[in-house]
Structure 1
Amino acid sequence: MFDNLSDKLDKAFHILKGHGQITEVNVAETLKEVRRALVDADVNYKIAKDFTKTVKDKAIGQNVLSSLKPGELMVKLVKDELTALMGGDAKGINLSENPSVILMSGLQGSGKTTFSGKLANFLKSKKTKKPLLVACDVYRPAAIDQLHVVGEQIGVEVYSNRETKDPVKIAQDAIAHAKANGFNVVIIDTAGRLAVDDAMMTEISNIHKAIQPQETLFVVDSMTGQDAVNTAKAFNDILNFDGVILTKLDGDTRGGAAISIKSVVDKPIKFIGTGEKMEAIDVFYPERMADRILGMGDVVSLVERAQEQYDEEEARKLQKKIAKNQFGFDDFLNQIQQVKKMGNMKDLIGMIPGAGKMMKDIDIDDDAFKHIEAIIHSMTPEERAKPSIINASRKKRIGKGSGTSVTQVNQLLKQFNQMSKMMKMMQGGGGKKMMQMMKGLR
């Protein structure tokens, strides 16, 4: 996410981070590189130019040149302006009515149908809502089928009617169905086109007028860059939507849409899609995104994701096992499953300050734990419970059964033993022991 932009901004700030004298020329040169980086990321030139002018005015006003750490102060000014450009604060979704009606709009291929499912899953699992998905794309039978598949996957009912080609009637009937059956959120997936056209705009405008939704969201593929911003403007002129959803932010996106869409349509980005899984949806926090763009990581989001998977009862059981020296490979496997639920591995690493930069050229796919899981699954229940019994012949059998080498089995056993020791130390309040261990590693 934003790797190229982050690299270019880092190089721009390098001018100020040197030991040479900081001058107004240095600052101007840095901001020229910042502007170039933004334009390369597909940010509108005028927005990039206004952005750097604002930063320059603030830099001169805050005496950046005479400050002790001009490079750091400059990065902070850029971060604050990036945050403001992307909307400042996170904006919630309006769920004030019962049922609350959410109208999804966007071009075909933007990920609208999939994101409707992700949003339903998010509201069901995190907001304890009872959502109803509605298939209002009357032109593509595949779209109706797709929504039914998505609904089944997340355990959410889908309302559709293949007998009529009138999307307004389907939407109105669905809302009546929701009221009669206790659904408190209705998410209406509408038809998309390959490009903005009059027929499409008329149709979605008619649906909007007929149902008066509490929330109208525009779904856009972030990988389309400046085109995404132009499409957003066309939709907003007709619908006056309430917020934007950026999909496919896990792809090779340049970031232009995320940075400039708010200033063009003056509507907040409310959610982002960060992967293919139904759980890959995040509330959009402008400040956290600015941190990530500038290579500062996003620890808050990382902790939040970890807390979502945290089970207090399981943690207590684990604590007891560690205390009694009974932590085995089944427990280790369980911890891996928890980490995997947190999301895309490269995305998670990008949330750790500095780690994203170090790992940018390393390809980490979602199967990063595959060989570890294979090795553990090739162990007998007794071996998983008591790793100390794994001798040379067992290692050979485990390696053969998992399609790995004895070296990889040895490596996993070594890592497991080190982790077990560290967990034991942490649990026993062994702060001094830990310090001694750290000294020993120097």
Structure 2
Amino acid sequence: MSGITRTSLWEDNNSLFWLTRGACVVVLSCPSGSSDLWVAGNVPSAQSTGKTASVTYAIGAASGSIMTAAMEFDEYSVQNQAFISVAVDSDHPANMGVIGLGPNSASEIYEQFDNDAGDNPLNRIFETNTSAPNYLTVLLGRSDDTDNPYPGNLTVGEVVAGYENITSQPKLSVLQDQDTGGQHWQTLLDKDGIIGPDGEVIQAQSVVEGLDQLVVVFDTGFSLPQVPTAVASAIYSRVPGASFVNVAAASGNVWTLPCNVELNVTFKFGGVSFPVNPLDTNLGALNVKGSDGNEVCVGSFQPITTAASSTFDMILGMAFLRNAYLLVDLGDYVDGSTASTADPYIQLLTLTNPAEAHKDFVDQRLGGVDNTDSTAQKIKPYLPYIIAGSVAVAILMIVAAAACLGSRKRRQYQHLHEPAPAGLPVYEQPPFPRYQRPHRRY
């Protein structure tokens, strides 16, 4: 059986096909940070369960009657798959929807049934196809095709051809959340596991009590990874022309910076380094304008706010996952697993070659002329300013996050569905020393 489903991914518009007996083809977003399936509009042959459910995000929501219908996912077939039938409106176009790839225990539909009738699609696939390995993989990338700049593959039960080495990578244990309804695909970052643009370790304290390592959630539904404020500040704050500005689509402040600045950042998991392509650290083509009307780029690694939690520290989304092939083995998280079933784990395969990534940046952002400075300046003399500025920004983030968290019953993610608008107001420049060399390579 071929378990590979080809997908086309751009920002949060991750699309695949969901089929019913009535030959209804539905285009779906597939975030790994949510766990429910919903579809807008009529699904032929769907049957009512007499139940309702709602899925609430920091931006947007979906609610309606819980229905069941036959589902085909590539060559896998599932009968009576439960989903939320959502009324069509401007926010929920007909034949559009979301198929959550997260743990079953976090499903709102499952909560209404509290038995396998409410299991999410991944669980149903593995329950009804017992010979299929209990894992999914996500491979994101980039191409020169302007109509499809970020292609990708989603697989169930097997790996993408040519990337079989992922199964020999370190197995990262999935950390259990004390609140099963808030369970995500999350693991530990290595100690001193973030290397900043200057080649130095970025220090950050976990919000999880008793841990000296950062807890990381992997979520394909996030365009912009969410990181501790100190991490975002260490990456972007001292870049000449960088600003911490309000972006409507992000419902808050984000770092913007000149598009010609190369920033190199590395994350470490299981003793393996995962360098991030500078084209992902400094995102372009988002239609963001600075105060002078010229285009600016957006820093991918943004301070975590409305998605903040006391059980994890950061969410690594698409900007990171274009640099690492992701495999999630559900293990005994599949409903009905036996005691002998192994615990769930995550594997990552690094995809980015730093030298090739540098050339990509020079070709795309600097017109092929490499005028970057390959010698990184040390920032230790400026640490007092960095600490002071990071604390100031952190206080603002904590206040904002507390207000958002206090207003909702369960943790909610902030999905960025739209590019940032033009004509953004520029906030007062943060109190950090600035690098002065143009086109600097960090």
User: After TM superposition, is the score higher than 0.5?
Assistant: no
**Interval containing the TM-score (normalised by the shorter chain):** under 0.3
**Would you tell me which structure has more strand in proportion to its own residues?**
2
Q: Could you say which structure has the larger radius of gyration?
A: 1
Q: TM-score, normalised by structure 2?
A: 0.26
Q: TM-score, normalised by structure 1?
A: 0.26
